[in-house]
Structure 1
Amino acid sequence: MSVRRVPPEPGRVPAPTAVPTAVPRAVARAVPPFDPELGVVLAGLSKESREPVTPDNLQARQERDAATRPRPTAEDLRADGRFEVTEFRVPGPPDGPDVTLVSARPSGLAGPLPLLYYMHGGAMIMGNAWSVLPRILSEWALPLGLAVISVEYRLAPRTRYPGPLEDCYAGLVWAAGHAAELDIDADRIVIGGKSAGGGLAAALTLLTRDRGGPAPLGQLLLCPMLDDRNSTFSSHQMSGHGVWDLTSHTTVWKALLGDRYGATDLPPYAAPARATDLSGLPPAYIEVGSAEMFRDEDVAYANAIWQAGGQAELHVWPGAYHGFDGLAPRATITQDARNARTRWLQRLLGQSSTGNPPTG
């Protein structure tokens, strides 16, 4: 029997074909091996730190995270004068509260500087804008001459979609509109984030394209959380291995989406893997581990960008699990990953400063 395939409309790509959730048990048990250095770190993690997130313990996990996650002050972030740090309260989305932005830049650099507009991770239920800044400032802001704004978006389940994304959009619009005051270049803004923040970064890039908002120079998506459907092969293959499983994943998506969880008409701004039009996006850097649940959805997203005629640099780190770089900062593969991110940012910013179009 022959099957006639109808090509998609120009500039549009079909949504990735869902993999049946019933993965054969024999296949599901075969998983990519962990990198040896990462495996040692994983084996040493406490049982409590690997406990799945459930509806019953979600609030307790949030409270534990708030109590134990380091939250540097503005004075801490200034690092004896190496950085200029300012906190802003800016107008939030319609019918929403003001949004806090934490702005930081290397001291003494003449602007306007390019800006990394960053969303923290934490599965949409945890994390804060301050704790991610020490690493970002040391790895990127100082060596690359970048200004950084980290967004304190509202968390689920207290605030469901689209509240967190609208917070990020309101902050981006404000930052671009106050570029002169911030001494940043509004034409050289890179949107970035990790895990849940990577998903927000992808969604924000789609949203600002469709609303005609500030046009980013690039999007930095680190192990982004993109797909609410739990239908990829890796989401089942890697559940129970590493540090994140299907129970946790389902819990946090339900916390974010509420009654809209599982809806067939969920917009791509809620879960970017559902996007059918990835045309007109800036160059993307996408990375993920070969041994984590997000692998297949992130690879599919890069492929969909290519199919739409866009630019994406994809790194699948062999033997890496979710959040490997934070858990094993001294591992060789972590250093390789950090160097690759920095080189991509260098190329992107270098091309934009010479007037050449970024190539991703």
Structure 2
Amino acid sequence: MTTRPLVDPELVALLDQLPSIELNEAIIKQVRTMTQTQRFSDLPSFPGIEVTEHFVPGPEGAPEVRVLLYQPTTEIRPVPALLWMHGGGYVMGSPEQEDLMVKKVVSVLGCVAVSVGYRLAPETHHPGPVEDCYAALQWLHTHTSKLGVDPARIALVGSSAGGGLAAALGLLARDRGEIPLAFQLLIAPMLDDRTCIMAEPHPYTGEFIWTREANRFGWTSLLGQEPGGPDVSPYAAAARAEDLEGLPPTFINVGALDLFLEEDLEFARRLTRAGVPTEFHIYPGAYHGFRMVADAQVTQIAARDQLTALKRALRIQ
């Protein structure tokens, strides 16, 4: 059975253009190189945004963390800030891959953004990636005055594995009690390693882009062991957290054909049960990564929903 007939007609064509790659340790470096060397000559320019590279203090005993800092050049300070975590299944990706999306958000909101180049698995297992993100959050919070950022309006943003890191970072920040967070925006977040071992997986999700096989490789790479075991930390897989009280208001969206549909639904349900203000959207006909089809109506609706939520949460007129 294929779920292709359920795909939004505007999203179908991309499925024929993307190569079918089975992720494994032997090929992952090649995949990273392929994605990093892509050039996008037709991307719009954003003259009102300054982008600079920084290397901030990393976790104790670990290397510095590379970040890209996005600053609007015309806004009156202080402004809100986003700590942004890219996707890639924990095994690939870089801040550059979401450069256009970050710039669009910064341009519309007039905020600062810090995009984190966290270490990747399988070279770096948990807790390396989330601790890198926490180090970047500490740097942002410490430098709010210098950056013209309102420390009461810092939000976490992430997509896919980056959404999983954002959710885990929200838990870590809550439990350490050092840095207040105003909001977390989780785009098709990768939250639960137990999806890999479901006895009855959802029959209509996970056929395209990010499959069950890729998901197992991603989680195994991050954890350094087979997913689904009893001792997985909630700072690795946020869905493992027993207590979700005290987390910042949360926005989650996901496609109806996305492998992460049910784990995201369940996380949203549990957030509401814990008294966390939660907004959740499902987009019919949408698979994982559907926003790659930028001109599709469903992509534009999702982008609008995300911006509306950020504006409201960060008190942007």
| Aligned mates of 2:212, 2:311 — CA distance in 1 | 36
- Residue 274 in 1 paired to residue 240 in 2? yes
Contact persistence 1:234–1:294 (CA under 8 A)? no
The residue that corresponds to 2:30 in the other structure is: 60
Gap runs ≥5 in structure 2: none
Gap runs ≥5 in structure 1: 1-27, 354-360
- Residue 202 in 1 paired to residue 175 in 2? no
Bigger CA drift: 183-192 or 342-351?
342-351
The residue that corresponds to 1:335 in the other structure is: 300
Distance change in 2, residues 1:242/1:267 (3 Å):
same
| Aligned mates of 2:3, 2:215 — CA distance in 1 | 21
- Residue 245 in 1 paired to residue 211 in 2? yes
5 Å-filtered alignment, 1:3-152, equals 33-42=6-15, 44-46=16-18, 48=19, 50-68=20-38, 79=45, 81-138=47-104, 140-152=105-117
Distance change in 2, residues 1:236/1:80 (3 Å):
closer
Bigger CA drift: 100-109 or 289-298?
100-109
Distance change in 2, residues 1:165/1:70 (3 Å):
farther
**Greater relative contact order, per chain length (Cα 8 Å cut-off, separation 6+):** 1
Letter in 2 for 1:58: I
Contact persistence 1:106–1:145 (CA under 8 A)? yes
| Aligned mates of 1:84, 1:295 — CA distance in 2 | 36
Q: 1:216 aligns with which of 181, 191, 204?
A: 181
State the secondary structure of the residue aligned to 1:314: strand
5 Å-filtered alignment, 1:224-263, equals 224-229=189-194, 230-232=196-198, 235-238=201-204, 241-259=207-225, 261-263=227-229
Contact persistence 1:235–1:246 (CA under 8 A)? no
Contact persistence 1:202–1:272 (CA under 8 A)? yes
The residue that corresponds to 1:320 in the other structure is: 286
CA displacement at 1:350 relative to structure 2:
2.0
Work out the number of aligned pairs and report it. Answer: 316
CA displacement at 1:206 relative to structure 2:
0.3
Distance change in 2, residues 1:123/1:235 (3 Å):
farther
The residue that corresponds to 1:3 in the other structure is: none
Letter in 2 for 1:61: V
Q: Deviations along 1:82-125, whole A, 9 cap, x unmatched?
A: 21222221110011011112111221212111001100111111
Letter in 1 for 2:61: D
Contact persistence 1:54–1:247 (CA under 8 A)? no
Q: Deviations along 1:224-256, whole A, 9 cap, x unmatched?
A: 001112245885524662212111111111111
Tell me which structure has the larger Cα radius of gyration: 1
Distance change in 2, residues 1:289/1:81 (3 Å):
closer
| Aligned mates of 1:181, 1:130 — CA distance in 2 | 24
Distance change in 2, residues 1:261/1:150 (3 Å):
same
Q: 1:179 aligns with which of 144, 147, 158?
A: 144
| Aligned mates of 1:91, 1:286 — CA distance in 2 | 30
Q: TM-score, length-normalised on structure 1?
A: 0.82
CA displacement at 1:32 relative to structure 2:
8.0
CA displacement at 1:262 relative to structure 2:
3.6
Letter in 2 for 1:278: L
Q: Deviations along 1:275-323, whole A, 9 cap, x unmatched?
A: 1100001110000011111000000000010111111100010110000
Superposition CA RMSD, Å: 2.4
The residue that corresponds to 1:10 in the other structure is: none
Letter in 1 for 2:77: G
